[in-house]
Amino acid sequence: MTVRTAKIEIFGFGKASGQRDNWKKLAVDCQRMTNRLWQIWLCHHANNDSANKLRAHFDAYKRWQETKEGEKPKWPCKSLEPPLTKSSDPKSFYRILSAEFPGVNVRTRGLLTNAWQSLLNSRKAASGSLPGWVSILFANESLPTFTRPLPIPFDKENAKLLKEGDKYVLEVRVERLEESGKSVVERCELLLGKRKCRSVRSIVDRILSGEFAWKGSNLAFIRGKWYAVISYEMPARDRSKLDADRIMFVRPGRFTPWRVRIDGRGSFYIGGNGVHVKRFRERIQRERYERKQHYRHAGSNQKGHGRKRSEAVWTKLSSRYKDFVKRYNNEVTRRIVNLAIREGIGRIVYLQPKEEQRDNRYLSVAGNSSEHAMLWDYFQFGSMLAYKCEHEGIEYGKKTKIKTQASPRGVRGVRKSGSAKRGKRPKKACASV
């Protein structure tokens, strides 16, 4: 199963509109509730003296590893334990958040708490092999804090997707009246009538028909507009005709962007010869240099004359390059998966280069400069390939070691001279008679 998201603009709630101010307050409440969950959790473990109990546990576990005598020491405490998770207890998350945030819908509070709990259990330490929550209790790192409003979560339990003629309507219940305790049903129209929204509109139609399962979603305020970020689960496709014994290897090439090898046969390139990557990088470098030269001849700081623009272009150019990398990675991974389906290949192995192996890859050096080097996101390529394989029912694997072999023609770019270039044996020197 593959879970994806679709971001849909809500019609009529832009910067100039004063509507949905209550949603802004709810987004601030979500921020405060998340911070409050961390505080409640830390206070519980501080009162329970969990840090000292865990230190004693690790010491006992180290002694047990050396001797292997007796039973293996068990953990003295858990990341989430009663009374925090027991809703009937006055010290639980549910009771505390209900008393402090009565204006938030019960389902919204529950979804926020569930998301926070999964984040707490899956969190890794910033350094070392400890779990993230243990590292926080040991004071190796601080509590995460949020200083900006967070998205408002909802799902199919407190929301409905409706189609009324040509309009798509979302009914949500994220607000609660404090006096009566009743939830407020709010209707909002989704902006899906434009020509560019055709693909998202087809996704919503499949959710309404039941083909795609509707999962946890949220309302997000992005760049002055409200969006409904809807998550959905796509069913895995039946690929019984794929042969699991056939393997396709994918790796970044030295003279072309990507190379593919099927069943141990000779490799071939995919995704073009990479000339467009080189030209795009050169265009970005040239534009950076030209704008830098323009700013050098600007006037005083008080008058401006392009000062703000010259400072802002760096983020714009960098985002343009990131969009190019993401678009090209998405295109190539789709071609690779389509090729595997067409050839009946059941397994794809991605050979991701290590840091020391990236210097001689085409995507790392083509059109690049030493002053402002633009890196290629090889990890993003692997992530895109992984979820595409999961959706199509193809087994995915990754290796981080690429065997490099010397070219039989010698190092590219170095020209051989004399008889060695023509492949002839040099003549022997004759002794003078």
Cβ proximity of 348 and 389 under 8 Å: yes
Identify whether residues 149 and 65 lie together within a single domain: yes
As a whole-number percent, the residues of the chain with pLDDT over 90 amount to 48
> pLDDT digits over 168-178, tens only?
999 999 988 88
Task: Look at residue 380 and tell me whether its pLDDT is greater than 70.
Answer: yes
Check residue 310 and give its pLDDT.
53
**Average pLDDT, rounded, for the chain:** 83
Least confident of 48-62, 134-148, 344-358, 359-373: 359-373
Task: Specify the number of domains making up the chain.
Answer: 2
Give 164 or 307, the one with higher predicted confidence: 164
Q: What pLDDT band is residue 232 in, cutting at 50, 70 and 90?
A: very high
CA–CA distance, 148 with 31 (Å, rounded to integer): 7
Task: Tell whether 407 is covered by a domain.
Answer: no
Mean pLDDT value across residues 319-333: 90
Task: Find the mean pLDDT for residues 309-338.
Answer: 80
Q: What is the pLDDT of residue 1?
A: 60
Cβ neighbour number for residue 390 with a 10 Å cutoff: 15
Query: Could you give the CA distance from residue 232 to residue 305 in angstroms, rounded to a whole number?
Result: 48
Q: What is the mean pLDDT of residues 186-193?
A: 90
CA distance linking residue 177 with residue 183, whole number of Å: 6
- Asked if residue 420 is part of any domain, the answer here is no
In a domain, 300, yes or no: no
Query: What's the whole-number mean pLDDT along residues 110-117?
Result: 95
Q: Please tell me the predicted confidence (pLDDT) of residue 155.
A: 92
Q: Any idea what the CATH number is for the domain that residue 256 is in?
A: 3.30.420
CA distance 219 to 215: 13
d(CA 201, CA 347): 32
Check: CB of residue 375 under 8 Å from CB of residue 366: no
Indicate the pLDDT class of residue 364, thresholds 50, 70 and 90. confident
Residue 138, CA atoms < 13 Å, CB-side half-sphere: 16
Overall average pLDDT of the 274-294 stretch: 80
Which bin fits 139, alpha (ψ -120 to 50), beta or left (φ > 0)?
left
pLDDT band at residue 393, thresholds of 50, 70 and 90?
confident
Q: Are residues 110 and 247 in the same domain?
A: no
Q: Are residues 71 and 197 in the same domain?
A: yes
How many beta carbons lie within 10 A of that of residue 376, not counting itself?
Answer: 23
One domain for residues 191 and 249:
no
pLDDT tens, residue by residue, 203-228: 999 999 999 999 989 999 988 889 99
Return the minimum-mean-pLDDT range out of 306-320, 329-343, 417-431. 417-431
Same structural domain for residues 115 and 261?
A: no
User: Do both 63 and 147 map to the same domain?
Assistant: yes
Residue 191 lies in a domain: yes
Query: Are 13 and 226 in contact, with CB atoms under 8 Å apart?
Result: yes
* Alpha carbon 217 to its chain's center: 17
Q: Is residue 358 a part of any domain in this protein?
A: yes
Q: Are residues 148 and 254 in the same domain?
A: no
How much of the chain exceeds pLDDT 70, in percent? Answer: 83
What residues are paired with 207 via a beta bridge? none
Residue 393 within a domain = yes
The pair of three-digit structure tokens given for residue 317, joined into one six-digit string:
């150019």
Q: How confident is the model at residue 353 (pLDDT cuts 50, 70, 90)?
A: confident
pLDDT at residue 302 in the model: 46
Of 35, 42, 41, 227, residue with least CA distance to 147: 35
Per-residue confidence at 182, pLDDT binned at 50, 70, 90? confident
pTM score over 0.75 = no
411-430: average pLDDT: 42
Q: What is the dihedral of CA 387, 390, 396, 399, to 10 degrees?
A: 20
Same domain? For 35 and 158 the reply is yes
**How far, in Å, CA of 354 to CA of 338, rounded?**
27
184 pLDDT higher than 70:
yes
Quick: pLDDT tens for 233-251: 988 776 667 888 899 999 9
pLDDT at 360 over 90: no
Q: Tell me: do 148 and 270 sit in the same domain.
A: no
Domain assignment present for residue 170? The answer is: yes
389 has pLDDT over 70: yes
Which range marks the domain in which residue 94 is found? 11-206
Statement to judge: residues 121 and 168 lie in one domain: yes
- The answer to whether residue 226 sits within a structural domain is no
More confident site: 298 or 152: 152
Q: Are 333 and 379 in contact (CB under 8 A)?
A: no
Query: Is the pLDDT at 57 greater than 80, yes or no?
Result: yes
- Looking at the fold, whether 201 and 271 belong to one and the same domain comes out as no
Taking the CA atoms of residue 77, residue 79, residue 80 and residue 82 in that order, the dihedral angle to the nearest 10 degrees is 20
- Do both 68 and 199 map to the same domain? yes
Confidence of residue 101 (pLDDT cuts 50, 70, 90): very high
Give the whole-angstrom CA distance, residue 166 versus residue 360.
54
Q: Which residues, including other chains, have CB under 8 Å from residue 235's CB and lie 6 or more apart?
A: 1, 211, 212
Amino acid at 248: M
Tell me which of 183, 206, 229 is where a domain ends.
206
Q: What is the pLDDT of residue 127?
A: 84
Confidence (pLDDT) at 14: 52
Highest mean pLDDT among 19-23, 254-258, 411-415: 254-258
Task: Tell me the mean pLDDT in the region 152-179.
Answer: 91
Q: Tokens 């009937």 appear where? A: 88
Contact between 152 and 218 under an 8 Å Cβ cutoff? The reply is yes
Residue type, 108: T
Nearest to residue 396, comparing CAs of 353, 352, 349, 351?
Answer: 349
